[in-house]
Structure 1
Amino acid sequence: MATLIPFTSSIRCLPPTPAFAATSKPLAVLSSERKMRVPYELRKGQSRLFHELPSGLSMEVIVQEGAKPGERTGDPPLVFVHGSYHAAWCWAEHWLPFFSSRGFDCYALSLLGQGESDVPPGSVAGSLQTHAADVADFISRNLALPPVLLGHSFGGLIVQYYLANIKSGQYSEMQGSFPELAGAVLVCSVPPSGNSGLVWRYLFTKPIAAFKVTRSLAAKAFQTSVPLCKETFFSPMMEDQLVQRYQLLMKESSHMPLFDLRKLNASLPVPSIPKSTVQILVMGANNDFIVDAKGLEETGNFYRVSPICVEGVAHDLMLDCSWEKGAEAILSWLRMELV
């Protein structure tokens, strides 16, 4: 565990409080130069910390302690994993305040090369294996209770790989096993087979949409076109000013691609698992421009659960103008299944 060193920057940063001891061990905190030129202003009660990985690289973690009304204890911590062109900030905007106010300690990670996390030497993009191992290392070294792991979009694919590699409750760098989870939530997740099926369906059934998705994501046109950014990630009623704010943060979040696509395709589909003892929630959005209904159905079938499709929201379910709908559905599932 690294020595605790206060993080200093132009952004207001609140120190961690002793109350985390109920669900976590001390976090490793490292000083770091700012990676994003556009600062994300932390909300009240949040702190930005850095977890040192075995490689020596540091991973950004935005933390928000759960309020414990009536000294409520035993709620599992929540660990959030973002997708492409996003970072820890996408969870900190709405969902960290929401879930922490309901008693959950929340940890939003920025994967390597994203957000304020370090960039690997040679700017070599990660893989399902390396990203999942980094998430496992954070959980193993910092959390005293098995967490609920939540992943969005390609982050959901990382969570799926994690689920396929849980072998014991102890993390071992030699064996490559991952700590146990209390549960997992896949939010608008890329399905276990990857996004190739989505792309081909769009090409044959929605050629104009296929062109827009390709131009938006592969060519990164969402970074310069507000209408295209809105259509890709958000609902039509989202205010342009807010879309512009998130557009700029997304542009600054990715210092390198989240995945080496050749490595990613070689590791798919995600290995199948027997009926999992981990409770899994599969959640989609009915206005999702990226992951279609068949993709959501594929993921639900893979994990033998009935997926939930949230009405009136788009792909960025945690940032969209009706973000509360997804948060409330997850909270209901947590209360029903886990606590």
Structure 2
Amino acid sequence: MGTTVLFVHGLWLHASSWGPWMARFQEEGYEVAAPGWPGDHDTVEESRRDPDAIADHGIDDVVAHFAEIIRAMPEPPVLVGHSFGGLIAQKLLGQDLAKAAVAIDAAQIKGVLPVPLSALRATLPVFKNPANKHRAVSLTPEQFRFAFANAVSEEESQELYERWTIPAPGRPLFEAAAANFTPHSPAGVDTGNSGRGPLLLIASGKDHTVPESVTRATLKQYRHSDAVTELLEFPDRGHSLVIDSGWGEVADTCLTWLRGQSL
């Protein structure tokens, strides 16, 4: 059996959006899995019809959900996470539950200070109402274009929106926003763990939701660890880089990096 790669989606995208990645990684000999978050249904359509099942799950709930899946595996997987999935992947790696992790445009972890204006605008649909902490919130096509698909055509943005988007729990965003004022924040990651597996951080130069400055600040949080921590940037890509027409370049970059780590 080959190394297993476990894909972790972020807010507003369904787990099935990893389908092309899973096929590519299988072609390279990996076992693959892409479980949903707690409350997600098997399809985009079912998830849209039942937002209450998705609502009110926080970061710790999602981490515990994936930790349980991992512990049932014969050996620890490699994690590939996008957005909040990238934060989840870093937490699990810091807990020594993974061989390695790739965090793509990962949501900011505790200790990261920059909050660029574009990131505030991208998350405004959630933060404009404090009650959204306990709700699942959907994006409009216009909000999705700004937050995810600003680096692709309007036509492609609409296509991605219709194909992959689902409601997202507001709680993780509220938890991350309060992380630097919360002693035991769920957004905290063991960045000092020198015994963990290698970590690749990927930044997108045109990302409105997780701007490059956030990813570079995340890299600095790992300065006290001797474990491999690297950063790669796609200067002309936005937050949709894992699902838009350029996904293959990002996936191949991840595969090349994993081979370089003997994984």
Query: Does structure 1 retain, via aligned residues, the 8 Å contact 2:63–2:91?
Result: yes
1:277 corresponds to which residue? 196
What one-letter code is carried by the residue in structure 2 that aligns with 1:261?
F
Query: Does structure 2 retain, via aligned residues, the 8 Å contact 1:154–1:189?
Result: yes
* Aligned CA distance change for structure 1 residues 89 and 258 (closer, same or farther; 3 Å): farther
Aligned partners of 1:257, 1:210: CA distance in 2, in Å? 15
1:261 corresponds to which residue? 174
What one-letter code is carried by the residue in structure 1 that aligns with 2:172?
F
Aligned partners of 2:126, 2:114: CA distance in 1, in Å? 14
2:244 corresponds to which residue? 320
Q: Number of aligned pairs? A: 239
Q: Compute the RMSD of aligned alpha carbons.
A: 3.0
Query: Does structure 2 retain, via aligned residues, the 8 Å contact 1:215–1:221?
Result: no
Indicate the structure (1 or 2) with the bigger Cα radius of gyration: 1
1:114 corresponds to which residue? 40
* Aligned CA distance change for structure 1 residues 272 and 113 (closer, same or farther; 3 Å): same
* Aligned CA distance change for structure 1 residues 102 and 277 (closer, same or farther; 3 Å): same
2:158 corresponds to which residue? 244
Aligned pairs (5 A) from 1:225-244: 225=142, 228-238=143-153, 240=155, 242-244=156-158
Query: Does structure 1 retain, via aligned residues, the 8 Å contact 2:199–2:230?
Result: no
Show CA shifts across 1:20-73 (max 9, x none). xx3xxxxxxxxxxxxxxxxxxxxxxxxxxxxxxxxxxxxxxxxxxxxxxxxxxx
TM-fit CA distance, 1:198: 4.2
2:100 corresponds to which residue? 183
Instruction: Tell me, yes or no, if structure 1 residue 213 matches structure 2 residue 122.
Output: yes
* Aligned CA distance change for structure 1 residues 164 and 260 (closer, same or farther; 3 Å): same
1:156 corresponds to which residue? 86
TM-fit CA distance, 1:221: 7.7
> 1:90 aligned to 13, 17, 20, which one?
17
Aligned partners of 1:123, 1:130: CA distance in 2, in Å? 11
Normalising by structure 2, what TM-score? 0.77
Show CA shifts across 1:106-139 (max 9, x none). 1111101234389899876222222111101112
Structure 1 or 2: more helix by fraction: 2
Give unmatched runs, 5+ long, in structure 1: 1-21, 23-74, 167-179, 203-208
Report which stretch shifted further, 185-194 or 151-160.
185-194
Aligned partners of 1:255, 1:289: CA distance in 2, in Å? 18
Greater RCO, 1 or 2 (C-alpha within 8 Å, sep 6+):
2
